[in-house]
Amino acid sequence: MRKLISSPVKMPLSEIENQIYQNSLKYITELSLNLMAVKVNYRPEDFVSWCIELTRLCRQDLNMDLVEEVQLPALKKLQIILENGCSVAQFKMARIAPWPIYLGFIEQQVEHHALVERFKLLDHMAKLREQPLTELIEEDVLAFAGKHTTKHDPAVFDFDVEWFASTKGAKVFHQLLQKNTADFDNALSFIPLTGEVTFAHYQEFVTAYQKIFTQCTTNKPQGEKAPLAAATRLLAMRRPDQFIALTNAKIDVFCQGLAIVKFDNFDFFSYWQEMILTLRSFVWWRQDEPQLKPELIADDEISSDIEQTSESLTVEESLVGECIAEEGIAEEGITEENVVEESAIENAIVEKPTSPDDFELKVWQNRAILVDLFLFADENTALNSNFIKMQNKAKNKALKPNQRSGSSSVGRVRTKESAEMLVDRALAADGIPEYVRGKRDTIVKEVKNGKSVDHVIGLMRAIFG
C-alpha cells in the first residue's frame, strides 16, 4: 500500500494532477492505518488508473468495521478527490486524442455510462428537434429540458431524460419554461439545426434567453439571473455535435480537465470563449463526417450476376469473336468463352457504397455532448438511471407485500428476530456490495428503530459508495 500511495511521485503529472494528488494525501493520512491493512495486488503506472484503483480499494476492500465515524468524512472526501482526479486525467487524454482513440474510448463506456440509454435519449431528441416546444407534449418538453417526473412512463421513455445534465433543481427555469414556452422557442431558433454554429448565432440565443429571465420581476424587481447550466442543456439537445451540457457540479471538473479558466453558472461568454472554442480545437472534434465506404459485394451476388450474364452468352459470343479477330488478340489458350466469362466476373465484382458504421456515425453526430463520458463512472453509475428506478418500482408494486424487498406486514416497531430476517434477506440479494454487507449490525439496529431496510441500505450506498 505504501508503494501504491507514493507511486504518483514517479509519474509525469500535470500541474492540476499534482494538485489533486497532494490534496488526496491530506485525507490518506487520516486513513493511513486503515489503508495499510488492505492488500494491494495491482500498482498502476499512470495517474488515471491509480485514481481508479485507489477508489476501488476504498469502496470494496477497505474494512469498514475498522473505520471510525470521525473518519467517514475524510473517506468520503478522498473518494470525491479521486473521482475528480480520474476525470481530469481522462480529459487530459481527450485533449490530444485523434478520432480513432476518442471513438474507442466512447465504445469502452457502454456499460458504466449507460451509453445505450443515452443514445435512446439523443435519438428521441433528434425526432423532436425540428418541432417547436409549444407543439410538444409536456413529457417531451421536460425531456428536452432535462427534468424527470413520474409522468415519464418507463414503457414509453425507456431512458433517463436527465442523462448528460439534470435541470431538476432549476425551479425558476422550469416555471418560466412552462409559462413562456414560445419565448424559449424563439431563443432556440437562433441556433441552426445543421451546419456551423457561429458566435453570432450563440450571442443571439443568449440575448433572447437572458431576456426571458430579466423580464421575470415577480420575486425580484431587477429580474432573475439566467442560469448557464440550464441553457447548455437546451443548446446540447438542439445541437449535440456543437455544445457540452453542464451542471453546477460539473463546471469545476470540466474546467480543470480541459485546462481552462474556471467560470461560474452565469458566465455565458466564458462558456463559449473558453469551453466551446477549446472543444473545437481538438483533433477528434474536427474529424470529418464518416463517409460511405466502398465494399465488394458478396460471393452469392457475384454468382447471381454471372448466371444472369451467362444467359446472354449466345448473343455476346459472336460479338466477342469479331472483336478478337479484328484486334488480333486471339492467343493460345484463350477462347471466346474465356473472355466472356472473365468479362462477366470483372463486371460483377464492383465496389458498392455502403453506409458507415452506425455506431461511429452516431458518435460523430453527438461528439460534443459525449464529452460527458470522460467523467468518472463505475459499475454503479448506470444504476442511478431514473428509468431503471421507475422500472424497479413498477415491478415492486406488482409483487405481493410479503415479496417486496424490505417490506413487512408488522408495524414500525419490529422484533429483533424480524429485523434480522429482513436485513439478511435484503443483503443476500444480488448486487449488494461487500461494504454494505459488512455493516449488517448497524443496518439491523436502524431497522429495529423503525426504518425500512431499503432506506438504510440506500443511505449506506450514499455514504460509502
Helix spans in 95-188 (H) = 99-108, 115-128, 138-145, 171-179, 181-188
Find the domain containing 136 and state its range. Answer: 102-288+360-374
412 vs 102: which has the higher pLDDT: 102
Show the cell assigned to 257.
Answer: 480537465
Q: 265 and 120 in one domain?
A: yes
Residue 192 lies in a domain: yes
Residue 387 lies in a domain: no
What integer pLDDT is reported at residue 397 of this predicted model? Answer: 67
Helix spans in 258-405 (H) = 268-270, 277-280, 299-310, 313-327, 336-348, 358-365, 386-398
Residue 76 lies in a domain: yes
Residue 243 lies in a domain: yes
Q: Rounded mean pLDDT of the chain?
A: 82
Q: 152 and 22 in one domain?
A: no
- DSSP, collapsed to helix, strand or coil, labels residue 445 as helix
Q: 236 and 122 in one domain?
A: yes
Residue 386 lies in a domain: no
Q: 154 and 112 in one domain?
A: yes
Question: Where do we find the cell 438511471?
Answer: 385
Tens of pLDDT along 78-136?
Answer: 999 999 999 999 999 999 999 999 999 999 999 999 999 999 999 999 999 999 999 99
Q: 409 and 458 in one domain?
A: yes
Q: 365 and 333 in one domain?
A: no
Query: Taking the alpha carbons of 223, 228, 230, 231 in that order, is the dihedral positive or negative?
Result: positive
What integer pLDDT is reported at residue 350 of this predicted model? Answer: 36
d(CA 423, CA 130): 51
Is 50 exceeded by the pLDDT of residue 445? yes
Among 242-256, 318-332, 378-392, the range of highest mean pLDDT: 242-256
CB-hemisphere CA count at 13 Å for 378?
18
Q: 308 and 280 in one domain?
A: no
Q: 168 and 113 in one domain?
A: yes
Residue 319: pLDDT band by 50, 70, 90 thresholds? very low
Contact 126, 118 (CB under 8 A): no
Looking at residue 258, the DSSP 8-state letter turns out to be T
CA nearest neighbour of 51 among 108, 92, 5:
5
Question: How many distinct structural domains can be found in the chain?
Answer: 4
Q: At what angle do helices 115-128 and 138-145 cross, to 10 degrees?
A: 120
